Amino acid sequence: MVEKPETSTIYRKGFGLKEEVQAELAGDYRSLLVEEIRSRGNVLSAGDFTIHLAKEFGFCYGVERAVDYAYETRKRFPDRSIFLTTELIHNPRVNNCLREMGIGFLNGPGPKDKPIQEITSRDAVIIAAFGTRVDEMELLKQKGCILVDATCGSVVLVWKRVEQYARDGFTAVVHGNYRHEETRATVSRVTPFPGGKSLVVWDKPEAAQVCDYIKGQGGREAFLKQFSVKCSPGFDPDRDLQRVGVANQTTMLSSESLEIGRMLEAAVMERYGPEEAPKHFRNFDTICSATQDRQDAIMELIRGRVDLVIVIGGFNSSNTGHLCEMASQHVPAYHIDEASCILSDKQIRHKPAGRQATVVTEGWLPSGRVKIGITAGASTPNRVIGDAMERILQARGQSLEALGLSR
Ligand code: SF4
């Protein structure tokens, strides 16, 4: 007799233990300083300098839910080994807290980590907010383990769109980073559909190359070389660029995503003409509202004429990087991941927009009257933001105690 594989139990709504984990979450991530500044209209004046907090910053609804589920899972299954498919979110503080709670990572190098193949029915696995690939999900389902699915609803919406494209015979062209967990999970959605194809474009120059090909102006070899790791296996640009549907990683720069959508639409119009174009092109803006709100808020901050901007968040956080990119087009902008990046009132360690490595910049904090704008990516806890603000105050010789503020 052939044994039936075990099937995992999947939880998608938490365990109703929100109240029980509140104190722990507050202890790890809350900042009274941030709450105080919020209550003062997002402004803090101290001597001759002022801090302006963006209207929207920090934890988004998807991240709050994922972090909450992770803590609830630990509480609900105290005796099980628990693993994350990947970083729960892109923030080092959060991932360290989870490790300290005894949560390991699949395929990671840590002592509590485990290869996915070795997961058993006695384990629990938490799927990160970015979601996971179709093949990985199938494998986990067969393990018979507890599966806690913290995939953000906004990511699931993108998946539905991409699945529809594949079902209807359109190649999903995804504006995103092909290495990012979310984009890898998104493009995998086409794989269950016969002939389903995907292509990831990172920026406008890459989109222009796709447009040229659609218009019959591109070279096949050059195309395949450029996109070799960014397209589905067996991708044939002559066949697979005849019908394209555009989507994007939820955390991209929304203006760039919209522009890329328009570029591809124009290319399809030129190739097939306005009457036939709808049979060859579909588009849907899948930037999530939390990303959009934070991008709108940074522009509002800049219009308020701040002298510089500090952007706080993990260096591998896509949405944090884009906030820095937007700000740096108008004022000096410094992307830091922790308060310790503020080395002194003279030096700051930060990751410049569009670069991989951090650098140390001298003279970041002007003397005299100065307005500092502060924002943070969707995966940055208030505690990290509060610590960074305290460090900035210290750099100007101020202390929370003297200002009557709490930590
Ligand atoms: S940034 Fe958007 S898609 Fe990502 S977790 Fe937050 S709400 Fe969800």
Provide the whole-model pTM.
0.94
Do residues 168 and 220 share a domain?
yes
Is residue 24 assigned to a domain?
no
CA separation for the pair 105, 119 (Å, rounded): 11
- Residue of 64, 291, 294 to mutate, ligand 1, most atoms within 8 A of C-beta: 291
CA separation for the pair 296, 226 (Å, rounded): 33
**Whether the Cβ atoms of residue 66 and residue 88 lie closer than 8 Å to each other:** yes
Is residue 4 assigned to a domain?
no
Report pLDDT for 47.
84
For residue 276, the domain's CATH number is 3.40.1010.20
Active site residues: 182
Do residues 195 and 144 share a domain?
no
E strands present in 31-150: 43-46, 49-53, 82-84, 104-105, 124-127, 146-149
Domain span including residue 330: 31-60+289-396
What contacts 196, CB < 8 A, 6 or more positions away? 166, 172, 190, 232
* CA pseudo-torsion sign 107, 113, 115, 116: negative
Report pLDDT for 107.
82
Do residues 146 and 161 share a domain?
no
Do residues 76 and 160 share a domain?
no
pLDDT in tens, the chain (407 residues): 555 556 889 999 999 999 999 999 999 999 999 999 999 999 999 888 899 999 999 999 999 999 999 999 999 999 999 999 999 999 999 999 999 999 999 988 888 899 999 999 999 999 999 999 999 999 999 999 999 999 999 999 999 999 999 999 999 999 999 999 999 999 999 999 999 999 999 999 999 999 999 999 989 999 999 999 999 999 999 999 999 999 999 999 999 999 999 999 999 999 999 999 999 999 988 889 999 999 999 999 999 999 999 999 999 999 999 999 999 999 999 999 999 999 999 999 999 999 999 999 999 999 999 999 999 999 999 999 999 999 999 999 999 998 889 88
Do residues 49 and 66 share a domain?
no
Do residues 167 and 265 share a domain?
yes
Report pLDDT for 117.
96
For residue 138, the domain's CATH number is 3.40.50.11270
Per the rule left: phi > 0, alpha: psi between -120 and 50, beta: everything else, 358 is beta
Domain-terminating residue out of 283, 307, 341 = 283
CA distances from 254 to 61, 90, 145, 174, 355 (A): 19, 20, 38, 13, 20
Do residues 107 and 148 share a domain?
yes
Domain-terminating residue out of 250, 283, 316 = 283
CA separation for the pair 327, 334 (Å, rounded): 9
Tokens of 205: 């120059």
Q: How far does the centroid of ligand 1 lie from the alpha carbon of residue 291, in Å?
A: 7
CA distances from 383 to 29, 80, 138, 344, 380 (A): 5, 29, 37, 20, 8
Report pLDDT for 285.
83
Dihedral through CA 39, CA 66, CA 317, CA 394, nearest 10? 40
Do residues 109 and 163 share a domain?
no
Do residues 192 and 92 share a domain?
no
Report pLDDT for 5.
58
pLDDT in tens, 241-289: 999 999 999 999 999 999 999 999 999 999 999 999 999 999 988 889 9
Q: How far does the centroid of ligand 1 lie from the alpha carbon of residue 191, in Å?
A: 23
Do residues 306 and 380 share a domain?
yes
Question: Which ligand 1 atom is nearest residue 153's CA?
Answer: 8
Is residue 114 assigned to a domain?
yes
Report pLDDT for 110.
85
Q: Which strand (E) or helix (H) includes residue 175?
A: strand 171-175
Is residue 181 assigned to a domain?
yes
291: Cβ below 6 Å to ligand 1?
yes
Do residues 131 and 161 share a domain?
no
250: Cβ below 6 Å to ligand 1?
yes
Is residue 3 assigned to a domain?
no
Do residues 140 and 163 share a domain?
no
